[in-house]
Structure 1
């Protein structure tokens, strides 16, 4: 038997020198998929946020990418870039101010350090992978306002994440109206709660956010940034800004953050609760982000009761809230079939002790949802709502984790990491077959709350031939053990749909819930 310890996140080895925000100087060198920054001195009078335009074209041979610059206060203008290939890059700036226009330079991009696999992309239609081809098995969590808490609590959250199983965290750009915390920084100049100058961003707010994103990048964690949310409830007014402010905000955020490889864009959390915004507004926001981002990071939107049309071309993957669908793999697979894109059930209720029904999952129920989602060929997100004496909870404010699921999710993630790189595909989704994997090569089955004492060795026919041999392991997903099954199973055709062990053997199971099987072909 083998017991799996919680995963420790990979820390990139030392690469080119970077500052506290994970950014290399303009003359480089910089890692491939790292971040380089050009800083220029320019006008500080008037309103530079509204009046000054700045961008740069980055060239390598015949290739070129354009990145938009931004004003960082105190007469400083910056352009950030994430090179996607090694070698010499050249750049030239464009601006409506002569002092910023026509600035040229070059830098060298070097090989990425260990742990730097590039941004995450969609691969094989329903799955994810880093740009260098490494699989990305999404095991995410949510902590909406962790980056808006006090410094000590933010550091505690980072320490928790460093030893957690999570490789993605959903987090909000805007603070929410949480009476347990008054943020020290806000995204616009002005006075809280409602006296804002929406024509002027507060660079200090965004520098702080960049620092946190950089720290997550060092931990190997993707930052799924929620660009709008309804939890302001008019307290600061960030949920009901004028349309032109919303668009200017999106362009500024993308200009500042897109050069971080670990950024994902979520247009909103529970977008349908933002009643001031119409369906066409969300289409426009998607288009703005898509057009503004030269690296085309992943893009999604999260629902409460109304589903967005995820078939639209600017949606890269599906982000869904549904408390019941991942209790059953046969339900979980349906959204995948509808949208033909990766499906992430980012919110499936939370493990905790909240009085609300969405915050009362047991650890067993949370872990079950991850496994049911996996054998449907989809992905699931974690949340935790155990109330601390301070009134905080992980999903709202971060801090520490108290539930039973994280250790089991570390074990789950290890099992996923040993699966075929292409991603888990349902083996026979038309006939109640609780297995996913790769036909004739790899099968991962999960029995959920059922308590079988045996499983007849029978596999769906695709790719199989008489004489193929397999070995098997029994996985206890709750007690985190893997037990090899004695012997080799050789299959022969049984009927029009299945192959079975030629000697009619079964695999003994312990009659407990939350058991899984792993079956791998023997060469």
Structure 2
């Protein structure tokens, strides 16, 4: 390759990658630094680069404006100084930019397009054999999932005893050939037999993750990256403070320029006693400092919630604490934290032995609708037993449950929401009611749109009254059978008949006066 390459044209919110030859002696991951400064009429951004092996250094940048940019590459990685210029073109197709929080409790892409997260969890899908990865991507193409949570480090837990396709560091893992369900706790806690150099990354591992992030981006799916987790037999969860920082800086330098990245500091942070709250706050400071694009950031709990009021947290990434209640508490959490509420783990559709992984598809879909009508968002997962132990929640592959199609239907309803998001309304004790979350605008659209959700209640009719003059169109939504039946136009007092079955909803839209 040439000693210095980069793209002469990049689309807005695309990825510019500057590649330079440099020193390869010693340990380039710690001995040498590379940095880029990118400037345009409206933007100046300084970003860290990284070593990619074989004497190659890279600096990545995501431009936010359609204009001419110049850049300079500096650092002790080379005796040369590099500079250049490029043009940023308009974004194309489904490129709406990074997702941001919007309207306090909701999300929108940077260009203002509303974003309604319908997420799923596949913890280590990117570290499975190639055929499973391809199957996962093919499955995702046919769903409404527009966010996926997954890990950078491999995972050691039930149904996850096989070795990953790669490791993040140079070294040798412990011998896993004798690990079984009965003795896995020994390996889980001892890290015996591992030999890693935590100052030398394995670029192949991270290159592959980048390819996965890019493939997700092409499917308009956000990559919710889990930076740390406790399910570990390799020692990655117990590195020194110095190695933790080296890892975080390397990961952010490599991944931050991808517009579809979110940061989740941890999965179940409270199951990592080796990390203190002070450690997590320090990790957050590092991520905020190193990410010039301010991607969405959160941290995930097992039992006790993190303090989601912390200013670095952009949204609440919540695992339910109660066996039954989860979505029912969304409105309370909205008021407490004043941030978007994302229930990334509200239990999974499946039939494994664990209580968090054996609810029905109907119950999972009910929790989604409850969360939605209370002004929040829910996350999907699937944990069905099978002979190959390839389970969606961890490995990806194929979906076997009933919920995914119903969540696609819910997403189609969400996309018809006027404005940006829904908020809960006070209502009768046996229903959940949502209306449009009015944006900060002099032209309010509040009180023009309502969804009444009846969950497991089974009324045969409902009576309504808003005022004497306005006209409303009413529809009955069967959230399980995925049908919408128009009931007509009404004003004054009116009654809507229902079939007396579970999981029904009524949508009422005010007709604009002409």
TM-score by length of 2: 0.90
Alpha-carbon contact 1:265-1:300 (below 8 Å) kept: yes
Aligned residues: 478
Tell me: CA distance 1:62–1:111, structure 2 relative to 1, closer, same or farther (3 Å). Answer: closer
Spell out, residue by residue over 1:180-204, the C-alpha distance to the aligned partner (whole angstroms, 9 max, x if none): 4212311011111310011111100
Alpha-carbon contact 2:42-2:65 (below 8 Å) kept: no
Determine the structure 1 residue equivalent to 2:441: none
Q: Secondary structure at the match of 2:95?
A: coil
In the TM superposition, what is the alpha-carbon distance from 1:92 to its structure 2 partner? 0.8
Determine the structure 1 residue equivalent to 2:358: 360
Alpha-carbon contact 1:141-1:169 (below 8 Å) kept: yes
Determine the structure 1 residue equivalent to 2:470: 468
Is residue 132 of structure 1 aligned with residue 93 of structure 2? no
Alpha-carbon contact 1:325-1:332 (below 8 Å) kept: no
Q: Which residues in structure 2 correspond to 1:20-31 (within 5 Å)?
A: 26-31=6-11
Determine the structure 1 residue equivalent to 2:41: 61
Q: Aligned match of 1:443 in 446, 450, 456?
A: 450
Alpha-carbon contact 2:302-2:321 (below 8 Å) kept: no
Q: Which residues in structure 2 correspond to 1:265-284 (within 5 Å)?
A: 265-284=263-282
In the TM superposition, what is the alpha-carbon distance from 1:63 to its structure 2 partner? 2.4
CA distance in 1, matches of 2:373, 2:109: 21
CA distance in 2, matches of 1:420, 1:62: 32
CA distance in 2, matches of 1:126, 1:457: 28
Which protein, 1 or 2, shows the higher relative CO under an 8 Å CA cutoff with sep ≥ 6? 1
CA distance in 2, matches of 1:267, 1:168: 16
CA distance in 1, matches of 2:416, 2:390: 36
Determine the structure 2 residue equivalent to 1:218: 218
CA distance in 1, matches of 2:301, 2:326: 20
Q: RMSD across aligned C-alpha pairs, in angstroms?
A: 1.6
CA distance in 2, matches of 1:309, 1:468: 44
Q: Which residues in structure 2 correspond to 1:421-432 (within 5 Å)?
A: 421-428=419-426
Alpha-carbon contact 1:451-1:513 (below 8 Å) kept: yes
Q: Secondary structure at the match of 1:457?
A: strand
Alpha-carbon contact 1:56-1:79 (below 8 Å) kept: yes
Q: Aligned match of 2:127 in 135, 148, 154?
A: 148
Alpha-carbon contact 2:34-2:49 (below 8 Å) kept: yes
CA distance in 1, matches of 2:427, 2:87: 49
Tell me: CA distance 1:446–1:340, structure 2 relative to 1, closer, same or farther (3 Å). Answer: same
User: Structure 1 stretch 437-446 or stretch 296-305: which is displaced more?
Assistant: 437-446
Alpha-carbon contact 2:262-2:295 (below 8 Å) kept: yes
Determine the structure 1 residue equivalent to 2:227: 227
Determine the structure 2 residue equivalent to 1:306: 304
Alpha-carbon contact 1:326-1:369 (below 8 Å) kept: no
CA distance in 2, matches of 1:324, 1:339: 19
Spell out, residue by residue over 1:222-256, the C-alpha distance to the aligned partner (whole angstroms, 9 max, x if none): 00000000110xx1100101111011100000000
Q: Aligned match of 2:337 in 336, 339, 346?
A: 339
Alpha-carbon contact 1:27-1:106 (below 8 Å) kept: no
Determine the structure 2 residue equivalent to 1:246: 244
Alpha-carbon contact 1:128-1:136 (below 8 Å) kept: yes
CA distance in 2, matches of 1:231, 1:454: 49
In the TM superposition, what is the alpha-carbon distance from 1:445 to its structure 2 partner? 1.4
- Residue ranges of structure 1 left out of the alignment (5+ in a row): 1-24, 460-464, 492-500
- Residue ranges of structure 2 left out of the alignment (5+ in a row): 175-193, 437-445
Determine the structure 2 residue equivalent to 1:182: 163
CA distance in 1, matches of 2:431, 2:454: 10
Q: Aligned match of 2:317 in 316, 319, 332?
A: 319
Determine the structure 1 residue equivalent to 2:99: 120
Determine the structure 1 residue equivalent to 2:182: none
CA distance in 2, matches of 1:119, 1:429: 35
Determine the structure 1 residue equivalent to 2:459: 452
Determine the structure 2 residue equivalent to 1:76: 56
Determine the structure 1 residue equivalent to 2:181: none
Runs of 4 or more, structure 1, over 4 Å off, are 323-330, 429-433
In the TM superposition, what is the alpha-carbon distance from 1:54 to its structure 2 partner? 1.1
